[in-house]
């Protein structure tokens, strides 16, 4: 068995299990940034923040996924939310072509309805299930059950790129960043962006995020937190969680390019098991 994911999972390796990542592209007309662990996020954001032209992102190609499938007989593919990206559709098209060429093989595509830490939780769970040695079909059932119990939150100090791409309302975007206001949001069940409030200052943002986590049923499960050049806020979230749930498995790490482009400088994204 092998796991394949798009690069918005913010991962490069997965010990103990076959794993490949297919990169997305962040573009600014004449310049492209290939998402991945080697991308200089600060340099990319600085360029985009000062760029006056058109910017955007591109999902992996069908061939990109097919190359990652290599010659495996059982594959699990995890993508960012299909509601906001063509990545899920590209992965499904690759699955259909692969199975047409190899009818005896199995490919299951998981629409994470999420991104970043939400994808990472699914990938880590798939790894655990594979190592348990259970069947392909049982893994498919259990990963969907697991996905339904997880939640994604984000705290953003700017949502200009989300607004420009039509993913959030431009009126909402205009208020974010003024007077230290950050937007706190979550991923809906459909995988769309759903604002849940505004917070002034990082202390309030951390407190409000933890409050929202507990409101949806968080009781000390696994938490994954990425950050865009803002280690301090990720650590503050971790400390708030550990203070109440000392045994919680909480991991903080830097966001790669795709999530940094949309979360923008100093933002964070958090995924949690409930």
Calculate what percentage of the chain has a pLDDT beyond 70: 95
pLDDT, tens digit (0-9, with 9 covering 90-100), for 181-226: 899 999 999 999 898 999 989 999 999 999 999 999 999 999 999 9
pLDDT digits (tens, 9 = 90+) for 102-117: 999 999 999 999 999 9
- What tokens does 145 get? 């059950």
2-148 CATH fold: Rossmann fold (3.40.50)
* Domain-wise residue ranges, the chain: 2-148, 150-273
Instruction: Using the predicted structure, report yes or no on whether residue 93 has a pLDDT greater than 70.
Output: yes
What pLDDT sits at residue 110?
98
In this prediction the pTM is 0.94
Confidence at residue 179, expressed as pLDDT on a 0 to 100 scale: 59
pLDDT of 171 > 70? The answer is no
Helix (H) or strand (E) holding 156: strand 150-156
Spatial distance between the Cα atoms of 267 and 18, rounded to a whole number of angstroms: 31
Can you say whether residue 63 is alpha, beta or left, with left for phi > 0 and alpha for psi between -120 and 50 degrees? alpha
First to last CA, the chain: 27
* pLDDT of 173 over the 60 cut: no
Report the alpha-carbon angle 220-225-228, nearest 5. Answer: 160
CA-wise closest residue to 77 among 37, 111, 102: 111
Q: What is the pLDDT of residues 57-86, one digit of tens each?
A: 999 999 999 999 999 999 999 999 999 899
Q: Which CATH class is domain 150-273?
A: alpha beta
Which alpha helices (H) appear in the chain, and where do they start and end?
41-50, 62-69, 87-101, 117-132, 136-149, 160-164, 170-175, 202-215, 231-244, 257-263
């Amino acid at each position: 068995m092998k796991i394949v994911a798009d690069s918005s999972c913010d991962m490069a390796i997965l010990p103990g299990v076959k794993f490949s990542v297919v990169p997305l592209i962040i573009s600014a007309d004449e310049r492209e940034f290939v998402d991945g662990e080697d991308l200089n996020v600060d340099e990319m954001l600085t360029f985009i923040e000062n760029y006056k032209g058109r910017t955007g992102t591109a999902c992996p190609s069908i061939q990109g996924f097919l190359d990652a499938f290599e010659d495996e007989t059982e594959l699990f593919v995890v993508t960012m939310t299909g509601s906001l990206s063509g990545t899920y559709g590209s992965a499904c098209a690759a699955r259909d072509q692969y199975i047409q060429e190899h009818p005896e093989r199995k490919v299951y595509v998981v629409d994470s309805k999420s991104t970043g830490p939400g994808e990472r939780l699914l990938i880590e769970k798939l790894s655990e299930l594979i190592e348990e040695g259970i069947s392909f079909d049982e893994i498919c059932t259990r990963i969907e059950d697991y996905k339904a119990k997880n939640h994604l939150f984000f705290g953003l100090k700017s949502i200009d790129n989300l607004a420009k791409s039509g993913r959030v309302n431009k009126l909402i975007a205009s208020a974010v960043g003024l007077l230290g206001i950050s937007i706190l949001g979550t991923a809906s069940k459909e995988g769309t962006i759903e604002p849940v409030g505004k917070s002034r200052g990082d202390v309030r943002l951390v407190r409000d995020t933890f409050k929202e986590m507990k409101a949806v049923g968080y009781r000390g499960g696994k938490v994954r937190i990425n950050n865009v050049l803002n280690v301090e806020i990720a650590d503050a979230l971790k400390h708030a969680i550990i203070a109440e749930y000392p045994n919680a498995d909480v991991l903080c790490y830097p966001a790669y390019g795709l999530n940094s482009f949309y979360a923008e400088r100093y933002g964070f994204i958090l995924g949690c098991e409930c």
